[in-house]
Amino acid sequence: MKFIVFGHANKDTEAGVLPTGEEFAKMGKFIEELVKAGVFVAGEGLQPSSKGARITFGKGGKTTIKNGPFTESKELIAGFSIIQVKSLDEAIAWMSRTPSPEGSSLEIRQLFSDEDFAPVDPTGELREQDAKLRAEADERHGKS
Amino acid sequence: MDETQRRIEAVFRIEWTRLLAGLARFVRGDLGAAEELAQDAFVAALETWPHDGIPRDPGAWLMQVAKNRALKRIDRQRRWGEKEVEIARVVEDRQERAADAIEKAADDDIGDDLLSLVFASCHPSLSAESRVALTLRVVAGLTTEEIACAFVVPESTAAQRIVRAKRTLAESGARFEVPRGPELAERLGSVLEVVYFVFNEGYVATAGAEWMRPALCEDALRLGRILAALMPGEAEVQGLVALMEIQASRIGARTSPDGTPIPLFEQNRARWDHFLVERGLAALKRGEALGGAPGPYLLQAGIAACHARARTPADTDWRRIVACYDQLAAATPSPIVELNRAVAVSFADGPAAGLRIVDQLAKLPALEGYHLVPAVRADFLSRLGRHGEARAELERAAALTKNDRERALLVARAAALGTGRS
């Protein structure tokens, strides 16, 4: 099963402070460990929320755009990884050794897999449509 | 099982391989002793961690505890005879470096130990089934119960296989190391064979009630990915990983809801796992970039990739597939490869060209009684409009197959050709 792991933002990530060379190396080593164990799937870091925007869908089709930064930094995300493991316990066991600074936190969430949608999509038609679009998107990004 | 214990078990599971690899090196390749020490360390963790919490670096903790146990045993029993001198040196070492031992264990490059463990588990002195059982136990970290379940044998049989394998290894005096030079290629072949065997056992189960067992495929894939990360320069490792990733991408599309197998060309390609396809194609690219004459896994991955890239069966690049089969037939000549090549040729150059190859094959004693020969012939004949002959071949194939589902399929195809003359 696949899990996504969100790294929460803090003052530094929101200020766009880059990790030091040492921190970067430590994280690199940790990710290398995940890769070597066949666990790591993907991961990216996020720019500060000051470079982002939020869209709120209101009544009657009215949308509101709010530019960053967003102040409630507890809710903000600074990065994510996707890992493939056998259980939530295993995900916890791996991610507990993230070389994160004191006071920081991670959130682990299980990703839906194809079969999870069976109750709302009994014929599989919607899932097929979805898979087709993903394949097309990959192709356009030149991934295959 | 309470939550803490589950947590500890999960930590142990992900540490298992590295722990065992490091310990195996420590006790000079005695896998039996290494496994006992690892188990002891686990018991110690179960006693300590619920109160003290899981240490920041649990791997180093477990390794240190296990090594201390090993040294204590030696101090007490001195039963490893000729290895005493060496071990005495280790004991002295320990006294000198006790303080930084834990840190060091964490920083050790464990890659070589892990590879040594893989090569030991797939050692040529072991029987094929022992290699598989031992690899699943010590490298993939499956329990004997899980291994027994995977191969549908009683747990005692699986346990026995593993015990016997460890004994054979110890007796054969196999060195705990990564082979070098020309030996590497040969020994690597055995490793890849074990991994692919595990994958295939999951992909087309030869035993048990289910046709596929995806968990076994996942274990094989994980083993393959570990190998690929440890030996990035070996093209065949990349080839095997590519092949497995692409084949695994079809798992969701290979059976209908009632469990009936769906052949490749009838599968709904939108249901292939595009993520796995992408990983497979990337591994293939890495393998090909390493240069040299492609080996059998890389070539098979190349063929699988042609199917993976085709949005519909009609989009399949048959020329390229035939080229791969030509190379494959030259690298590892076999009637089965030839039969598959005939199918590819029939799509690239027409059924008559395929028929010429298969007619030659039908004369080989090795393929006598093999149901796929008449089944493939039947396909070519029916595409040539020779329905009567095709029907006879399908009936022959149906009589030869041992698989009930397949027989039903062949009989149905024969019936669909009607009773008209050719």
Count how many pairs of residues, chain A against chain B, have C-beta atoms within 8 Å. Answer: 65
At residue B101 the predicted structure's pLDDT band, cuts being 50, 70 and 90, is very low
Residue of A89, A114, A144 with shortest CB distance to B278? A144
Encode burial over B71-96: b for 16+ CB neighbours within 10 A, e otherwise. eebbeeeeebeeeeeebeeeeeeeee
Rounded distance between C-alpha atoms, residue B29 and residue B33, angstroms: 9
B359 to each of B342, B376, B378, B380, B414, how far by Cα in Å?
10, 10, 11, 11, 20
The model's pLDDT over B171-204, given as tens digits with 9 standing for 90+, comes to 887 888 888 888 888 899 999 999 999 998 888 7
Query: Which residue of chain A comes nearest to B283, CA vs CA?
Result: A144
Instruction: Show the tokens assigned to A60.
Output: 């009657």
Residue B290 has pLDDT above 80, yes or no: yes
Contact A36 B230 (CB under 8 A): yes
Identify all chain B residues contacting A114, using CB atoms and an 8 Å cutoff: 252, 271, 273
pLDDT given for residue A134 in this prediction: 73
Question: B289, B295, B346, B284: which is closest to B321 by C-alpha?
Answer: B346
pLDDT given for residue B271 in this prediction: 84
Residue of B13, B222, B270 with shortest CB distance to A128? B270
The model's pLDDT over B323-375, given as tens digits with 9 standing for 90+, comes to 999 999 999 888 889 999 999 999 999 999 999 999 998 888 888 888 889 99
Identify all chain A residues contacting B6, using CB atoms and an 8 Å cutoff: 89
Which residues fall within 8 angstroms of residue B216, CB to CB, at 6 or more apart? B150, B198, B199, B201, B202
Which segments within A9-126 are labelled E, that is strand? 40-45, 53-57, 63-67, 77-84, 106-110
**Which of A94, A96, A112 to mutate: most B Cβ within 10 Å?**
A96
Question: B234, B298, B146, B245: which is closest to A38 by C-alpha?
Answer: B245
Instruction: Please give the share of chain B, as a percent, with pLDDT higher than 70.
Output: 88
3-state secondary structure of A3: strand
Rounded distance between C-alpha atoms, residue B243 and residue B295, angstroms: 12
Phi first, then psi, for residue A65 (nearest 5°) are: -105, 130
The model's pLDDT over A62-91, given as tens digits with 9 standing for 90+, comes to 999 999 898 875 689 999 999 988 889 999
Question: B349, B351, B31, B299: which is closest to B167 by C-alpha?
Answer: B31
How many residues are given for chain B? 422
Classify residue B161 by burial, with Cβ atoms within 10 Å: 0-12, 13-18, 19+: buried
Contact in structure between B335 and B361 (CB atoms under 8 Å) = yes
B5 part of contact set with chain A, CB < 8 Å? no
Rounded distance between C-alpha atoms, residue B124 and residue B240, angstroms: 20
Contact in structure between B105 and B64 (CB atoms under 8 Å) = yes
Instruction: Show the tokens assigned to B91.
Output: 């004991």
Peptide bond into B257 cis (omega under 30): no
At residue B206 the predicted structure's pLDDT band, cuts being 50, 70 and 90, is low
Residue A143 has pLDDT above 60, yes or no: no
Residue B305 has pLDDT above 90, yes or no: yes
* Sign for the pseudo-dihedral over CA of B139, B145, B149, B153: positive
B232 part of contact set with chain A, CB < 8 Å? no
B274 part of contact set with chain A, CB < 8 Å? yes
Rounded distance between C-alpha atoms, residue B368 and residue B175, angstroms: 43
Max mean pLDDT among A93-102, B23-32, B213-222, B350-359 falls in: B350-359
How many residues are given for chain A? 144
3-state secondary structure of B124: coil
